[in-house]
Copies of this chain bind each other. A is one copy, B any other.
Amino acid sequence: MYDVDEIRREFPILDRRIGDKRLVYLDNAATSQKPRRVLDALTKYYERHNANIHRGVHRLAEEATAAYEESRAKVARFLGAPGTTGLVFTRGTTESINLVAYAWGRKNLREGDEVLLTEVEHHSNLVPWQLAAQATGARLRFVPIREDGTLDMEEAGRLIGPKTKLVGCIHASNVLATINPVVKLARMAREAGALMLVDGAQSAPHLPVDVEALGCDFFACSGHKMLGPTGVGVLWGRPEILEEMDPFLGGGEMIREVRLDHSTYNDLPYKFEAGTMNIAQAVGLGAAVDYLGELGMENVREHERRLGEYAYGRLSELEGIEIYGPKEERTGLVSFSLPDVHPHDLSQLLDEEGIAIRSGHHCAQPLMRRLGVPATARASFYLYNVEEEVDRLVEALARAREFFRPYAI
């Protein structure tokens, strides 16, 4: 049974007050809150086991190494990876994608090659490819969206061709709440001989994910968006592909033999883990995916789907509101604009009532341009949010609008 009250008790910050109001945290797409057990895992790690890993023969080093590697196994299982060999810890989605853009992209892209992305990408899955394109002469192309925010798959079919070397796609959009057909894209990519990278920053926290079933070659996500600590993320890659890639960061741990003039590199996944890693954070992420596994990602998805639907309905009551993305098959977030009130002013007024939403371009400026707005407001839900919070949001929006309406331009 999915007991949201019990779940809420796990999150100390949900008792926080803003002024005299109880916090309503609806900025989960930016970062999630952390359950007590994740904080406890961090504290326990530091108070009992902290040591540098892999190279030490003493007890703490053994324990820290075991904890770190266990986390790797847990995260691999959580993502449906067939083993731990392809599971690399990074700082987050952004570093994961940059790793691919450097270590795979710089080595394999040439003038005339194409990388196919979409108009919906987060800057994290766009800027690294712009830099790789500048360095190699490859060209970026983009799958457009249709009016409802879903990908134009016919156009995708036309765009994928023999020049395509990699297709990169956001799995769940952090703005439109769409879930993109990455399985289909991966199939099309494979048929064209291209690799498929999935930006799972907004899917891994909210949907059951199975990288094998997705059929992708790379999958990136961030710990901090899925109940884990800041400072840790994941790149999963097919071992055969990772094996052939150049190293990315050089340093300790990723090497086998170092001479002054050249070096050879360690086995996977260590080849991509240079220097002292974010050990405690990886351990914390292990505790987070344990918890998500206990709750069941199907249940998390169902809870958020319902809440998102409820929010979509309640927000639609507001006269003149514009909600972005499709009506159906949405994740648990809603981006919107209200006439008369700039999103910044909106979130500020909401903040006074203890309600945290985000306003801005959500690191998706090209998508904002496509939608024809400089910014939107966004309420994003997670497994601990409840309908009463949606109600407080809607009421506060109505009041904010009353406040601003007299001054509307």
Interface residues of A (CB under 8 A from B): 12-13, 16, 18, 23, 25, 27, 30-31, 33-34, 39, 42-43, 46-48, 50-52, 55-61, 91-95, 97-98, 101-102, 119, 122-124, 126-131, 140, 142, 222, 224, 229-232, 246-247, 249-255, 257-263, 274-281, 344, 347-348, 350-351, 354-360, 363, 365-366, 369
What are some 29 contacts across the A-B interface (CB < 8 A)?
A13-B47, A23-B60, A43-B43, A51-B356, A52-B224, A55-B358, A56-B358, A57-B344, A58-B357, A92-B276, A94-B252, A94-B275, A95-B274, A123-B252, A123-B263, A124-B251, A126-B250, A127-B254, A131-B246, A131-B250, A229-B280, A230-B279, A230-B281, A231-B280, A252-B363, A253-B363, A255-B365, A257-B365, A281-B281
Sample of 6 more A-B contacts, CB < 8 Å, known A57-B344, A59-B356, A229-B281: A58-B351, A94-B252, A97-B251, A131-B246, A230-B279, A257-B365
How far is it, in angstroms, between the C-alpha of A129 and the C-alpha of B261 when the chains are bound? 10
A131 and B247 contacting across the interface, CB-CB below 8 Å = yes
Copies of the polypeptide in the assembly:
2
**Closest B residue, CB atoms, query A350:** B58
Q: Is the interface of A mostly helix, strand, loop or mixed?
A: mixed
Would A130 and B261 be within 8 Å (CB), given that A94-B251, A250-B98, A274-B94 are in contact? yes
A57 and B130 contacting across the interface, CB-CB below 8 Å = no
B356 and A56 contacting across the interface, CB-CB below 8 Å = yes
The listed residue (B46, B57, B224, B247) touching A276 by CB distance below 8 A is B224
Contacts of A130 in B (CB 8 A): 250, 261-263
B52 and A27 contacting across the interface, CB-CB below 8 Å = yes
**Closest B residue, CB atoms, query A247:** B131
How far is it, in angstroms, between the C-alpha of A27 and the C-alpha of B275 when the chains are bound? 16
A230 and B92 contacting across the interface, CB-CB below 8 Å = no
